Chains A and B, each alone.
Chain A
Amino acid sequence: MVSLSDPALAQACQRVLETGVGMDEADVLAVLEQPDEQIPAVLEVAHQVRLRWCGPAVEVEGIVSVKTGGCPEDCHFCSQSGLFASPVRAVWLDIPALVEAARQTAATGATEFCIVAAVRGPDPKLMAQLRAGVAAIRAEVDINIAASLGILDRSQVDELVQLGIHRYNHNLETARSFFPNVVTTHGWQERWETLRMVRESGMEVCCGGILGLGETVQQRAEFAAQLAALAPHEVPLNFLSPRPGTPLEQRPLLDPRDALRAVAAFRLALPRTILRYAGGRELTLGDLGTRDGLLGGVNAVIVGNYLTTLGRPAEQDLALLQQLKMPVKALSSAL
């Protein structure tokens, strides 16, 4: 095992490994600030923590956008905001295509299929489309159905529970202190409130964000601590893919070394969570990045394409998992 040269940090890592309790913000920051030559060591310890507290299995998920573009919100990274001159047109996915997307996901061995909509929150039309879509998928495909439909009210939470949506995604996106730099049409607290209701409802909470929005390293540590306070079942980690027409179009990609530091740091902050590689990994980390992440704390992937961009072929990820002797989590144990 590669060992960390900073004895205090090595001790903090050891505590996480032994207790399964996440690091505090100061230690997370120390991980994020490790010099380049220490990156293999932090990834290694994060991997040990993941194996000890989550096991070797990897959760595989596919996602699809049921309503793309035309969103009234202004999240500065998002090509689906209707407020920017993005080339992404507003469009709805019909039910047969939604079922086909679920089928393509299940064909990879995935246990999770997440239906996503570019909205502030669901309106009656979206809830009706979701009801119809869930029923049609259930009739043909054996897979857990998750949803990501923005800010919810109590009755919508109840309806999702009745529909059997087993996990709800709602990202806090970034540190609370940085959120107003990225979104002005709604607040971090509104998102938190939805997450609180989802948690109370018994649905699993999926909450992560995007790194590389211009947040400082301190804010990255702050974000990890805020997620740890929420203790979500799953944390999807995205890396900014600067989208044409958005306010962040000109932002540079996150340095791949910083992306790997973050993977390790988030695992050490959240030892027991499902830490998922989501959008931007191909662009930020290249093909090797998936391997590095899976050996550095990540234990879940989105396979295939994303919502508006393409991913690497699912077969490549599945072959890699086989090579690494990491079993794909099975449906029976995914609940």
Chain B
Amino acid sequence: MYCDRCGRDLAGDLAGETDHAACRAARALEPPRFCPQCARRMKVHVLPAEWRAECVEHGVLRGGRNGS
């Protein structure tokens, strides 16, 4: 699994090498940018009441506001 904000491997997080706490906090006001499954940069659309993020391999993720 990868961080959907910075695209780095979350395994580093577990090993204490990378701290994604800041990424998680920032995601409250940002849509995801990287596919959590493959870390590809996604095509992201932000609409007034939702976001849509598409990975060419893993399909479309959708969410509302505040990172949900």
Name A residues whose Cβ lies closer than 8 Å to a Cβ of B: 62-65, 68, 87-89, 91, 93, 97, 100-101, 104-105, 107-108, 241, 244, 282-283, 303-314
Contact = CB atoms under 8 A, between A and B. Distances in A.
B38 interface: no
Contact of A97 (B42, B47, B64): B47
List the 3 closest pairs (A to B, CB-CB), nearest first: A304-B48, A87-B33, A104-B49
Contacts of B31: 308-310
A63 B52 CA distance: 16
B9 interface: no
Contact of B29 (A93, A108, A282, A304): A282
A63 B46 CA distance: 10
B57 to A, nearest CB: 14
B58 interface: no
A314 B66 CA distance: 11
B20 interface: no
A307 B46 contact: yes
Interface of A: prevailing SS: loop
Contacts of A68: 44-46
A309 B48 contact: no
A109 B68 CA distance: 24
A311 B29 contact: yes
B58 to A, nearest CB: 15
Interface string B12-49: 00000000000000001111011000000111111111
Contact of A105 (B28, B29, B48): B48
Contacts of B5: 87, 244
A109 B28 CA distance: 25
Contacts of A305: 46-51, 65
Contact of A312 (B45, B47, B66): B66
A263 B49 CA distance: 26
Given A91-B43, A310-B67, A313-B66, A104 B29 contact: no
B6 interface: yes
Contacts of A283: 29
Given A87-B33, A282-B29, A310 B66 contact: yes
Contacts of B29: 241, 282-283, 309-311
Nearest to B52: A97
A310 B51 contact: yes
Contact of B34 (A87, A108, A303, A314): A87
B7 A309 contact: no
B38 to A, nearest CB: 14
Nearest to B40: A89
Nearest to A279: B29
Given A310-B51, A313-B65, A91 B44 contact: yes
5 contacts: A62-B48, A65-B45, A305-B46, A309-B30, A310-B66
Nearest to A87: B33
A304 B33 CA distance: 19
A314 B43 CA distance: 24
Which of B34, B50, B51 counts the most A-chain CB atoms under 10 A from its CB? Answer: B50
A69 to B, nearest CB: 9
B41 to A, nearest CB: 5
A310 B6 contact: no
A313 B63 CA distance: 13
A67 to B, nearest CB: 11
Contacts of A307: 46
B47 A64 contact: yes
B62 to A, nearest CB: 12
Contacts of B47: 64, 97, 100-101, 104, 305
